[in-house]
Amino acid sequence: MSNLLFHAYKNARNVLSGNDETGMKVFPGMFDSDVVSLSHGDGTRRPQCGIISAGVLALLDDRYSPDDYHVMTHNAELETWIIDDFKADGIHESLANNIVLSHGSTSLFDAIFTYYIGKGRRYLVPSSFYHNLIKWSALYHEQLTCQYTKIENDYKLTAEELSKSVSEKEIDTLFLFNPTQTGAIYTDAELMALSKVCIEFNITVFVDSVFSGTEFNDEERTPQMAKYFTQYPDNIVTIKSASKFLNLANVRVGWACGGENIIAALRDICSAKNPSISNVALEMVKYGVLHCHEYIRENNLESAQRARIIDASVYDINNSLGEQVINTTHKPAAGHGFLLDFDYLIKATRGRIKSGCDLVAYLLKEQKLSLSPADSLGFTGCKVRVAFSSVGLKSTYLDSEYERNVAMDSITIGHVPVTALSIPRRQHTDYFDAGRGILDHSLRNPLRTALANLLKK
């Protein structure tokens, strides 16, 4: 484990909690009730009411029970959808047909590290990864190296960078996030080039694609690297989950496909650590993927709108300050986060603010505004991530009475009624207006004010 990476992770956790280096709370943190948080990575809105009703029905289904593990139980319809979804990505059936379901993508990563215990693997991950990857690798005492990528390619890993890292650091395992944590999507050409390097050097690839399905462009589908590994099935695993595109992070369902041998090993580990997955969770996910296409589309459109709000706010802030203090060259095409580059501040503040952690701590102290340090996502310099999707999340809980009525109808007729797919007299913007206002105000006022004060000192 790189000391630099672990320090970045630990420092970011401390700062977001309002703690000093000893772990003592000394200033406001992102979880404080009076702090405006643009750091929370929750959902875009409450799950669609049909999903909730599907969970209620599953809990009442007397074929299953909370007291019975049901280890060998399969949700056939959901598994068929998952396989077909992987095939729609262009992944050959020799990989797509081999799937494993687990308690979220976190459990799959845990299984990966468990599988490699004592094997001396050397892992590489490019910038814009999920911060907890650092913690997971540290828990298993594994060697994780970050390839710090460049803005010119939206911080996506290039074949040249990968080839150099493999040669210099003897890398044998690659973690690739696609889409990335800051919303970049790899192209087919980029994935093909990376695949050639991986195959040449016998690198095993684990692709985290949990943000697939959140693409802003309704006609765009995230390309998958596994389509180039048909002849090398046990060298790649593709991971997805219901957390992001269905807003079911707390339901904990993830899945993956790959070669028969590697998937069998991961399945064995997952079932040993978590003997079964709740049928309630599986039924909720199944309903979502089969019926909630418009709900997903609306959420993705909202994410695109919020990215535009951030871009416009930054433009106005820079104009107000008379300098390009914030750079937004790297814009998201998917996902729930927007990277803001404040490298200008390093020189302008004569080194008082030199990292994302420094800036986040300053904003928490001065304005009770929380952004996420990008230090622990594999970025250098002074950069932060705005987690825009869940801003104003609680204001999306508008349909509690309707939810109860749909649930009661579901119990009466034995299935989720078609009325669950449409909320009478409700526009989807009704769910999001409050969050948009909080996001826009937080950037144009507290952030701008804090920056203006900082530059005066």
Per residue of the chain (457 residues), what is the pLDDT tens digit?
Answer: 578 899 999 999 999 999 998 889 999 999 999 999 999 988 899 999 999 999 999 999 988 877 777 665 789 999 999 999 999 999 999 999 999 999 999 999 999 999 999 999 999 999 999 999 999 999 999 999 999 999 999 999 999 999 999 999 999 999 999 999 999 999 999 999 999 999 999 999 999 999 999 999 999 999 999 999 999 999 999 999 999 999 999 999 999 999 999 999 999 999 999 888 889 999 999 999 999 999 999 999 999 999 999 999 999 999 999 999 999 999 999 999 999 999 999 999 999 999 999 999 999 999 999 999 999 999 999 999 999 999 999 998 888 888 999 999 999 999 999 878 877 667 777 889 999 999 999 999 999 999 999 998 7
CATH 3.40.640.10, the chain: domain bounds: 74-275
pLDDT of residue 399: 84
Question: Is 340 in a helix, a strand, or coil?
Answer: strand
Question: For the whole model, what pTM was predicted?
Answer: 0.96
Q: Which helix (H) or strand (E) holds 41?
A: none
pLDDT of residue 275: 83
CATH topology of domain 1-48+292-456: Aspartate Aminotransferase, domain 1 (3.90.1150)
What beta strand segments (E) does 227-344 contain? 236-241, 254-258, 337-341
Beta pairing, strands 143-147 & 122-126 = parallel
Question: Is 36 in a helix, a strand, or coil?
Answer: strand
CATH 3.90.1150.10, the chain: domain bounds: 1-48+292-456
pLDDT of residue 425: 62
The backbone torsions φ and ψ at residue 60, rounded to the nearest 5 degrees and listed phi first, read: -90, -5
Q: Is residue 419 within 8 Å of 409, Cβ to Cβ?
A: yes
Query: How is residue 350 written in tokens?
Result: 């004569």
Report the alpha-carbon distance of residue 236 to residue 262 in Å, rounded. 8
Question: Nearest-CA neighbor of 263 among 86, 143, 118, 1?
Answer: 86
Report the alpha-carbon distance of residue 50 to residue 342 in Å, rounded. 42
Q: Is residue 41 within 8 Å of 336, Cβ to Cβ?
A: yes
Question: Nearest 5 degrees, angle CA 29-CA 30-CA 36?
Answer: 115
Q: Is residue 344 within 8 Å of 451, Cβ to Cβ?
A: no
Q: Which CATH number fits domain 74-275: 3.40.640.10, 3.40.50.300, 3.20.20.70, 3.40.228.10?
A: 3.40.640.10
